[in-house]
Amino acid sequence: MLNQILEVVINTDYKKNYLKQLFLIALADAHLDSREEEYLFFIAQKMGINHQEFHSIKQSTAETSLIIPDNYYQRFRMIFDFVWVMMIDGEIDPREKVVCQQLVNQLDFASGVVDDLIEHINYHLSCGINPEHTFAKFEEMLMEK
Protein backbone atom coordinates (compact mmCIF):
# COMPACT_ATOMS: atom_id res chain seq x y z
CA MET A 1 0.00 0.00 0.00
CA LEU A 2 2.77 2.43 0.94
CA ASN A 3 4.61 1.59 -2.29
CA GLN A 4 1.48 2.42 -4.30
CA ILE A 5 1.11 5.75 -2.50
CA LEU A 6 4.80 6.56 -3.08
CA GLU A 7 4.47 5.63 -6.77
CA VAL A 8 1.49 7.99 -7.16
CA VAL A 9 3.42 10.82 -5.46
CA ILE A 10 6.50 10.18 -7.61
CA ASN A 11 4.43 10.00 -10.79
CA THR A 12 2.59 13.20 -9.87
CA ASP A 13 5.86 15.00 -9.11
CA TYR A 14 7.32 13.74 -12.39
CA LYS A 15 4.31 14.91 -14.41
CA LYS A 16 4.32 18.35 -12.80
CA ASN A 17 8.08 18.62 -13.34
CA TYR A 18 7.71 17.61 -16.99
CA LEU A 19 5.08 20.29 -17.54
CA LYS A 20 7.16 22.85 -15.64
CA GLN A 21 10.12 22.22 -17.94
CA LEU A 22 7.87 22.73 -20.97
CA PHE A 23 6.71 26.04 -19.52
CA LEU A 24 10.34 27.09 -18.99
CA ILE A 25 10.97 26.65 -22.71
CA ALA A 26 7.73 28.32 -23.77
CA LEU A 27 8.32 31.31 -21.50
CA ALA A 28 12.04 31.72 -22.26
CA ASP A 29 11.12 34.45 -24.76
CA ALA A 30 8.97 36.17 -22.09
CA HIS A 31 5.79 35.42 -24.07
CA LEU A 32 3.39 32.49 -23.92
CA ASP A 33 1.84 32.12 -27.36
CA SER A 34 -1.70 30.72 -27.46
CA ARG A 35 -0.49 27.73 -29.51
CA GLU A 36 2.16 26.99 -26.89
CA GLU A 37 -0.37 27.19 -24.08
CA GLU A 38 -2.85 25.03 -25.98
CA TYR A 39 -0.22 22.34 -26.54
CA LEU A 40 0.91 22.50 -22.91
CA PHE A 41 -2.67 22.08 -21.76
CA PHE A 42 -3.07 19.13 -24.13
CA ILE A 43 0.02 17.51 -22.55
CA ALA A 44 -1.32 18.27 -19.07
CA GLN A 45 -4.65 16.63 -19.87
CA LYS A 46 -2.91 13.53 -21.24
CA MET A 47 -1.01 13.27 -17.97
CA GLY A 48 -4.13 13.72 -15.85
CA ILE A 49 -3.24 17.21 -14.62
CA ASN A 50 -6.41 19.19 -14.02
CA HIS A 51 -7.09 22.80 -15.02
CA GLN A 52 -6.32 24.19 -11.57
CA GLU A 53 -2.98 22.36 -11.29
CA PHE A 54 -2.13 23.46 -14.83
CA HIS A 55 -2.58 27.12 -13.93
CA SER A 56 -0.67 26.66 -10.70
CA ILE A 57 2.30 25.23 -12.61
CA LYS A 58 1.99 27.99 -15.20
CA GLN A 59 2.16 30.67 -12.49
CA SER A 60 5.11 29.08 -10.69
CA THR A 61 8.27 31.03 -11.47
CA ALA A 62 10.72 28.96 -9.45
CA GLU A 63 13.02 26.84 -11.58
CA THR A 64 13.15 23.19 -10.63
CA SER A 65 15.67 20.51 -11.41
CA LEU A 66 14.77 18.24 -14.27
CA ILE A 67 13.55 14.81 -13.21
CA ILE A 68 15.21 12.48 -15.68
CA PRO A 69 13.24 9.41 -16.78
CA ASP A 70 14.91 6.02 -16.49
CA ASN A 71 14.28 4.81 -20.01
CA TYR A 72 15.36 6.02 -23.42
CA TYR A 73 11.82 6.16 -24.82
CA GLN A 74 10.58 8.52 -22.08
CA ARG A 75 13.66 10.74 -22.41
CA PHE A 76 13.19 10.95 -26.17
CA ARG A 77 9.48 11.78 -25.74
CA MET A 78 10.50 14.56 -23.39
CA ILE A 79 12.98 15.96 -25.93
CA PHE A 80 10.36 15.76 -28.66
CA ASP A 81 7.92 17.79 -26.55
CA PHE A 82 10.65 20.30 -25.67
CA VAL A 83 11.40 20.92 -29.35
CA TRP A 84 7.74 20.93 -30.38
CA VAL A 85 6.93 23.61 -27.78
CA MET A 86 9.89 25.66 -28.96
CA MET A 87 8.65 25.52 -32.57
CA ILE A 88 4.86 25.51 -32.31
CA ASP A 89 4.47 29.28 -32.56
CA GLY A 90 6.20 29.30 -35.94
CA GLU A 91 9.50 30.80 -34.83
CA ILE A 92 12.47 29.58 -32.86
CA ASP A 93 13.49 32.21 -30.37
CA PRO A 94 17.20 31.86 -29.48
CA ARG A 95 16.34 32.03 -25.76
CA GLU A 96 13.92 29.11 -26.11
CA LYS A 97 16.55 27.14 -28.02
CA VAL A 98 19.14 27.73 -25.29
CA VAL A 99 16.78 26.45 -22.58
CA CYS A 100 15.77 23.51 -24.76
CA GLN A 101 19.40 22.61 -25.48
CA GLN A 102 20.30 22.81 -21.77
CA LEU A 103 17.49 20.40 -20.91
CA VAL A 104 18.44 18.02 -23.72
CA ASN A 105 22.04 18.00 -22.48
CA GLN A 106 20.79 17.01 -19.02
CA LEU A 107 19.00 14.07 -20.65
CA ASP A 108 22.37 12.88 -21.99
CA PHE A 109 21.60 13.21 -25.70
CA ALA A 110 23.96 14.60 -28.32
CA SER A 111 23.54 18.30 -28.97
CA GLY A 112 22.71 17.61 -32.64
CA VAL A 113 19.45 15.95 -31.63
CA VAL A 114 17.74 19.33 -31.23
CA ASP A 115 18.71 20.47 -34.72
CA ASP A 116 17.70 17.11 -36.23
CA LEU A 117 14.33 17.27 -34.53
CA ILE A 118 13.84 20.88 -35.61
CA GLU A 119 14.36 19.84 -39.21
CA HIS A 120 11.94 16.90 -39.01
CA ILE A 121 9.32 18.70 -36.97
CA ASN A 122 9.50 21.76 -39.21
CA TYR A 123 8.71 19.55 -42.19
CA HIS A 124 5.76 17.94 -40.38
CA LEU A 125 4.44 21.32 -39.22
CA SER A 126 4.63 22.66 -42.78
CA CYS A 127 2.55 19.67 -43.92
CA GLY A 128 -0.04 20.31 -41.17
CA ILE A 129 0.80 17.07 -39.37
CA ASN A 130 -0.12 17.11 -35.68
CA PRO A 131 2.38 16.37 -32.90
CA GLU A 132 1.01 12.93 -32.04
CA HIS A 133 1.24 11.71 -35.63
CA THR A 134 4.72 13.24 -35.92
CA PHE A 135 5.86 11.49 -32.76
CA ALA A 136 4.38 8.21 -34.02
CA LYS A 137 6.75 8.47 -37.00
CA PHE A 138 9.69 8.96 -34.64
CA GLU A 139 8.43 6.08 -32.52
CA GLU A 140 8.56 3.80 -35.56
CA MET A 141 12.16 4.82 -36.18
CA LEU A 142 13.03 4.20 -32.52
CA MET A 143 11.55 0.70 -32.65
CA GLU A 144 13.57 -0.13 -35.76
CA LYS A 145 16.84 0.57 -33.94
pLDDT tens digits along 9-63: 448 888 999 999 999 999 999 989 999 999 999 999 988 999 999 999 999 867 7
For residue 12, give its domain range.
Answer: 2-144
| Residue 5 pLDDT level (bands cut at 50, 70, 90) | very low
| Contact (Cβ atoms closer than 8 angstroms) between residue 25 and residue 86 | yes
Note the maximum CA span of the chain.
49
pLDDT in tens, 91-107: 889 999 998 998 888 88
Q: How many domains does the chain have?
A: 1
CATH number of the domain residue 55 falls in: 1.10.3680.10
Q: What amino acid occupies position 118?
A: I
Q: What's phi and psi for 19, nearest 5 deg?
A: -65, -40
In angstroms, the Cα distances linking 84 to 13, 88, 115 are 22, 6, 12
